[in-house]
Amino acid sequence: MSDKCAVVIDLKFERREVDQALADAFKGRQVLHASDKGADLSQARYAVLWKPDADLFQRAPRLDVLFSGGAGVDSVLSLPGLPEIPIVRFVDHTLTTRMSEWVVLQCLAHLRQVPAYLKQQRESHWRELPQPQASEVTVGVMGLGVLGRDAAEKLKIMGFEVIGWSRSRKALEGIDTYDTGGLDDFLGRTDILVGLLPLTPQTRGMFDAALFGRLRKGGRLGGPVFINAGRGGSQVETDVVAALQGGTLAGASLDVFEREPLDRASPLWRMENVLITPHAASASDVRALFRNAEQQIERHEAGDPLQHVVDRSAGY
Ligand code: NDP
Ligand code: OXD
């Protein structure tokens, strides 16, 4: 056996996919699978995890670093028995690129009236709809972290007017930015609201009736559009439904929900102006995840600081 410290894997990917990715990862290190209930994890120093079983930290009491299988760490931070050790978030261009593709796709879908054309197609109805220009529509991105920033820049390239909001104010070329104190001004300019916020006590339930009511009225899309790929816990789903039914919102694209999978009885499934994806905006690439964890372990063992460490007091 190698004298390099062992790694535990506790991910909810298909085991075959994990095994294929492991063929090129953690060379010279023992890799243990938490799903093998007989495996001795007592000496493992690193864990790569996503929604692990409740007994992981009892079985692996000597961990030094946790690697989250996703960019969002709300579920990791709420794990029972979570040890006081660094948690490294997953940050990788594959994840960022996928998310920006999803966000740009959704903004374009509402700009170019895809939900209305899909309805017309189902009814074999030939009718050209108005075509506002991207430059006439302001997209407000809430959360200008790794994902929000890239999405904002790509939306800008597509020609949208883009503004952004985050806890601390950011400087982005060609994009007006706001901090928490500027929320009213930010919302009052926004035609398409994009949520790319982590779920924290501050962001829980933030997308509610009051917030939707502060979005810009009278824009070129016939009303504001809400797009969320951050976390479902940030949206009050009954308020989203009511805002769509009452016309406060003209449309929505939702990838995340208060409870996942989204209940079959949810009216959101049947709304013609709503596009739904099953928390699939940007899936973690398991090869990239292992490559990242391996690089961070090498840094850690060489005495260099870990990167993308979660700030537990901020919750992300
Ligand atoms: P980052 O940590 O890089 O960025 C988070 C951003 O949110 C930062 O700009 C931060 O502000 C801002 N923010 C946090 N709390 C507040 C607050 N209370 N008020 C205002 N702004 C706030 O995260 P990522 O960009 O990497 O990821 C964002 C989220 O996307 C993840 O947490 C996860 O929930 C979700 N996600 C969803 C996926 C999907 O498939 N649907 C896939 C991957 C991630 P500041 O810059 O000042 O710190
Ligand atoms: C993530 C996610 O946080 O998949 O990476 O939601």
Q: Is the pLDDT of residue 3 over 80?
A: no
What structural domains does the chain harbor?
A: 7-90+284-301 (3.40.50.720), 93-276 (3.40.50.720)
Q: Which atom of ligand 2 is nearest to the CA of 72?
A: 3
pLDDT digits (tens, 9 = 90+) for 213-225: 999 999 999 999 9
> Is 228's C-beta closer than 6 angstroms to any atom of ligand 2?
no
Closest atom, ligand 2, to C-alpha of 282? 4
DSSP per-residue string spanning 4-62: EEEEEEE--S-HHHHHHHHTTSSTTEEEEETTSTT---TT--EEEESS--TTHHHH-TT
Query: What confidence tens digit (pLDDT) does each residue in 91-132 have?
Result: 999 999 999 999 999 999 999 999 999 999 999 999 999 999
Hey, CA dihedral for 234, 79, 44, 10, is it positive or negative?
A: negative
pLDDT higher than 60, residue 1? no
Which one from 59, 98, 149, 231 is the annotated catalytic residue?
A: 231
pLDDT surpassing 90 at residue 268: yes
Give the C-alpha separation, 275 to 109, whole Å: 9
CB distance 148 to ligand 2 below 6 Å: no
Alpha helices by DSSP H, listed for the chain, are 15-22, 56-59, 74-77, 93-111, 114-122, 146-157, 183-189, 209-213, 237-246, 286-301
